[in-house]
Amino acid sequence: MKKNKISKNWIHRQKNDIYVRQSKIEGFRSRAVYKIKEIDEKFKIFNGHSCIIDLGAAPGSWSQYIKKKYKHTKVLAIDLLDFDKIEDVTQIIGDFTKDEYKEKIKSFFNKKVDVVISDMAVNTTGNKNLDAIVTGELCIEAMNFAYEQIDKKGKFVSKIFMGSSFNEIVADAKKKFKEVNIYKPLSSRKDSKESFIICKFLR
DSSP 80: S
CA atoms within 13 A on the CB side of 154: 24
Residue pair 198/183 in contact (Cβ under 8 Å)? The answer is yes
Of the candidates 102, 155, 159, 200, the residue annotated as catalytic is: 159
Q: Which residues contact 37 (CB under 8 A, 6 or more apart)?
A: 65, 187
Residue 44 to residues 14, 93, 135, 155, 171, Cα–Cα distance (Å): 29, 28, 25, 10, 23
Residue pair 187/38 in contact (Cβ under 8 Å)? The answer is yes
Q: Computed over its alpha carbons, how large is the radius of gyration of the chain? A: 17
**44 catalytically annotated:** no
Q: Which residues contact 33 (CB under 8 A, 6 or more apart)?
A: 23, 26, 61, 62, 64, 65
| Phi-psi sector, 183: left (phi>0), alpha (psi -120 to 50), beta | beta
Q: Counting runs of H as helices and runs of E as strands, what totals does the chain give?
A: 7, 7
Instruction: Indicate which residues carry an active-site annotation.
Output: 159
